Structure 1
Amino acid sequence: MEIRLLHTADAHLDNPLSGLGKVGNARRKEIARAFERVVSIAIEKGVTALLLAGDLYHDPSARSSPWVKSLFKKLERHGIHVLAIPGNHDELPACKAYMEEFPPNVYIFSGEELTPYTRIEGLSIYGVVSTDKHRRVLKGFRKVDAPGFHIALVHGQYRLTDQFAENYCPIEPEDIELSGLDYIALGHFHNFMDCSHGRTRAFYPGSPARLDFSDIADRVVLLITLNDAAVSVEQVPLEDRQYITVEADINDPDHIHHQVASIEDEAACVRVRLSGITGDPSISSSIVDDLVEKYSDKFFYFCVEDKTDVMIGDLDDDFTIRGKFLQRMRQRVQDARDGEDALRVRYALSYGLAALRGARLK
């Protein structure tokens, strides 16, 4: 027996995208079309079920719910089931759309325990709604004693080594490995990630469309094939607009312009993130204004984030850690052997000030 499923998550329909300004509405429509494309792929691939692992909607208002229902009815006409869990953006009971009447092919998990849905031959599919964001929903889980394949839908944060990572409904590697499940359809992280451990395959598909500049990976939906031999996972590509970040130092304006001008994709969303040290705050303001004036009309969306630090002129009476650090680094700049050495010191100064602010360093 072979069963095929399609796994997606984090569509975030109705996202206001207020940061995109005048192009926000156009981008919202693109995000909706990306989800519609997922539905089309489910039909093209002839899957048994579409798995939605949370945050279908960006907020509980779920204004797109009538349109989403029409897509679910389209899947019903092709004999395709829809199994979904709410996420942290469209959680129950706030999101009333999940409690409405759906076509018979749709099942929304609403319990706080991983309970199985067994109405599809050969499958036991588990889903959970977590009202405790600190709870490890997979900890101690054991599948029911039933033949066929065992699949779970979980919306939560896989444990990363990064100390600044969010800890929403944490998922530990051992929770995956000891679950005994064949596949875990994860949601919450917006880029593709393989979290498989032991014999259990577990993946984040990422959002169907990029939602902000942190969504750097290619967009995909996951085609899961289950048979007696193995569980295979295929990344089916989704076309999407590029989000490009240009990291630039305030002390090299010519290079900043060169970096931006070399971007050939005019359909991209482009962000310039300025860093570095300046003794005059008007310098960064001038560079920002110049960049915005020159490139705002070249790309679908363009913005500049000014993360520069100002080197305060008189630091002799500043006895804070920041003040002492700046005093030392100012002297290092003055003692630099050449321009390249001075630039390295400025980079070190920039990273040091960012660390003192508690910023996340890369």
Structure 2
Amino acid sequence: MFRVLHLADLHLGHRPDLPAPLQEEVCRERNGVLKAAVDLALDPRQEISMVLIAGDLFDHHQPEAPLVEETIRELGRLEAAGIRVVTVPGNHDEITYNDAVYRREARRWPGLLVTEPMPAKVATLNINGDACHLVAMAYTGGVSRVDGPLKDFPPAEGSGVTLAVFHGSLDWDGGERSLPLDGEALAAAGYDYIALGHIHRGGQKHLGRSQACYAGMVAGRSFADPGTGSWTIVTLGDGPARVEQVPAQVTPWRVVEVDVTAFHEPEELEAAIRESLDPGALMQVRLVGTIAFELALEGLQARLGHLCSYLELVNDTEGWAPEVLESLAAEPTIRGLFVRRLRAKLAGAAGPGEAELVRRALFRGLLALKGGGRSCRL
């Protein structure tokens, strides 16, 4: 029996779309995720014997030299401690290119670097006295033969444990570089564990006797790609593979939705947003529903932005309540004239499509006249 730390999609070197100096701070934290993973693997309480990296260790096939040196140094700590390391290139750090990091650094890359362009048995390792057979591949443009989902996988060995490692899309054909994998064919191969990368949200699936698992991205890249916030550790060699998730100490990206419809005063909305904020998180608050008062995003941002690591307010409301529009239309101002004219156009709209365009124009025009915007960043 032995335990494996399954990593994938760390995307070291990624620079998130955040204002300076926060961008640098988050980038440094993300690049430190590998060191945290190595520290976890070296913790004797975890009893880790192998670290599998299932693709996209880097965000680009040409990461900056200092990051490459740091990565080799960290993986070397594992090798020095007798922990086996297996690295599979992904589609971001693709091995295809002549200047790819894995081609330049192949001779000094710690552990086993997979370069086979098609599924193949790449090694048999001795792990705690047991045979561990590895099946893997590294997609290589112009060499890998990918015409629809891959189905030709070498069968599991009769003795020991067989692990497969792929950076690809299980039962989904997103194109050749997404490395589509046929689930039925993988099930027929009979592997003990299938370590997958490429799908950032993580997840598991039984394929016959096999346990397939996407480790997911530990530290997020954006609000749309928030990461899992956990490590994936697998126990093998004593019955079916057992997968556990261990919390990781990373800054979370969190999205919350606040419905403004129930609020009649700006102070009520501000209190609700304040209540939803996590001080240690990067926060996006999406406002939905119908507005019953004038919405001043910049003021909210100024008063609330310091309550968390980062705050982004996004206005996804449907527009102003009818009574608010009535009040605005009665104003002897340019804004009042704008509302009256757009409401007249809305009443005379030729169909649903034109009416929707007029509603959007009214909504966005009022935001502009109020000095607000669809989203406001601090």
Normalized against structure 1, the TM-score is what?
0.77
The corresponding residue for 1:271 is: 284
Structure 1 letter corresponding to 2:88: I
Residue 258 of structure 1 is aligned with which of 268, 271, 293? 271
Could you say if the C-alpha distance between residues 263 and 274 of structure 1 is closer, same or farther in structure 2, counting changes exceeding 3 Å? closer
The answer to whether the Cα contact below 8 Å between 1:241 and 1:269 also exists between their aligned partners in 2 is yes
Matched position secondary structure for 2:303: helix
The corresponding residue for 1:91 is: 94
The corresponding residue for 2:122 is: 117
Which consecutive residues of structure 2, in runs of 5 or more, have no partner in the other structure?
Answer: 321-341, 360-378
The corresponding residue for 1:127 is: 136
Larger CA deviation: 305-314 vs 28-37:
305-314
Could you say if the C-alpha distance between residues 171 and 320 of structure 1 is closer, same or farther in structure 2, counting changes exceeding 3 Å? farther
The answer to whether the Cα contact below 8 Å between 1:195 and 1:202 also exists between their aligned partners in 2 is yes
Alignment partners' CA distance in 1, 2:202 and 2:158: 30
The answer to whether the Cα contact below 8 Å between 1:135 and 1:170 also exists between their aligned partners in 2 is no
Structure 2 letter corresponding to 1:205: A
Matched position secondary structure for 1:229: coil
Alignment partners' CA distance in 1, 2:318 and 2:15: 31
Matched position secondary structure for 2:74: helix
The corresponding residue for 2:324 is: none
Q: CA deviation at 1:49?
A: 1.9
Q: CA deviation at 1:26?
A: 0.8
Structure 2 letter corresponding to 1:58: D
Could you say if the C-alpha distance between residues 139 and 62 of structure 1 is closer, same or farther in structure 2, counting changes exceeding 3 Å? same
The corresponding residue for 1:222 is: 232
Residue 77 of structure 1 is aligned with which of 60, 75, 80? 80
Q: CA deviation at 1:267?
A: 1.7
Alignment partners' CA distance in 1, 2:18 and 2:206: 35
Query: Is 1:303 equivalent to 2:303 in the alignment?
Result: no
Alignment partners' CA distance in 2, 1:241 and 1:257: 24
Could you say if the C-alpha distance between residues 218 and 242 of structure 1 is closer, same or farther in structure 2, counting changes exceeding 3 Å? same
Alignment partners' CA distance in 2, 1:265 and 1:97: 38
Matched position secondary structure for 1:262: helix
Structure 2 letter corresponding to 1:295: L
The corresponding residue for 1:22 is: 21
Cα offsets for 1:27-58 (capped at 9, x unmatched): 11111222211111222234332100111111
Alignment partners' CA distance in 2, 1:226 and 1:105: 23
Alignment partners' CA distance in 1, 2:252 and 2:234: 26
Structure 1 letter corresponding to 2:82: G
Structure 1 letter corresponding to 2:286: R
Alignment partners' CA distance in 2, 1:173 and 1:13: 29
Could you say if the C-alpha distance between residues 58 and 217 of structure 1 is closer, same or farther in structure 2, counting changes exceeding 3 Å? closer
Alignment partners' CA distance in 1, 2:69 and 2:227: 30
The corresponding residue for 2:112 is: 107
Matched position secondary structure for 2:235: strand
Alignment partners' CA distance in 2, 1:300 and 1:309: 28
Q: CA deviation at 1:214?
A: 3.6
Matched position secondary structure for 1:112: coil
Alignment partners' CA distance in 2, 1:204 and 1:157: 10
Within 5 Å, give how 1:341-356 maps onto structure 2.
none
Q: CA deviation at 1:238?
A: 1.1
Alignment partners' CA distance in 2, 1:147 and 1:136: 31
Matched position secondary structure for 1:150: strand
Query: Is 1:157 equivalent to 2:173 in the alignment?
Result: no
Q: CA deviation at 1:189?
A: 1.8
Alignment partners' CA distance in 1, 2:307 and 2:299: 14
Larger CA deviation: 134-143 vs 217-226:
134-143
Q: CA deviation at 1:157?
A: 2.7
Which consecutive residues of structure 1, in runs of 5 or more, have no partner in the other structure?
Answer: 330-362
Alignment partners' CA distance in 2, 1:134 and 1:278: 52
Could you say if the C-alpha distance between residues 173 and 321 of structure 1 is closer, same or farther in structure 2, counting changes exceeding 3 Å? farther
Q: CA deviation at 1:188?
A: 1.4
Give the total of aligned pairs. 321
The answer to whether the Cα contact below 8 Å between 2:72 and 2:110 also exists between their aligned partners in 1 is no
Within 5 Å, give how 1:135-284 maps onto structure 2.
138-143=150-155, 145=157, 147-159=159-171, 168-215=178-225, 218-249=228-259, 251=261, 252=263, 253-263=266-276, 265-276=278-289, 283-284=294-295
Cα offsets for 1:299-358 (capped at 9, x unmatched): 11111223345585222443354235689x9xxxxxxxxxxxxxxxxxxxxxxxxxxxxx
Structure 2 letter corresponding to 1:3: F
Root mean square deviation of aligned Cα? 3.2
The answer to whether the Cα contact below 8 Å between 1:222 and 1:233 also exists between their aligned partners in 2 is yes
Within 5 Å, give how 1:8-87 maps onto structure 2.
8-44=7-43, 45-63=46-64, 64-87=67-90
Structure 2 letter corresponding to 1:123: C
Could you say if the C-alpha distance between residues 290 and 223 of structure 1 is closer, same or farther in structure 2, counting changes exceeding 3 Å? same
Cα offsets for 1:243-291 (capped at 9, x unmatched): 22121345545554233211463121111123345699xx55xx22122
% same residue? 24
Normalized against structure 2, the TM-score is what?
0.74
Could you say if the C-alpha distance between residues 93 and 216 of structure 1 is closer, same or farther in structure 2, counting changes exceeding 3 Å? closer
Matched position secondary structure for 1:178: helix
Alignment partners' CA distance in 1, 2:102 and 2:268: 51
Could you say if the C-alpha distance between residues 104 and 318 of structure 1 is closer, same or farther in structure 2, counting changes exceeding 3 Å? closer
Alignment partners' CA distance in 2, 1:315 and 1:10: 48
The answer to whether the Cα contact below 8 Å between 1:192 and 1:220 also exists between their aligned partners in 2 is no
Structure 1 letter corresponding to 2:39: S
Q: CA deviation at 1:295?
A: 1.6
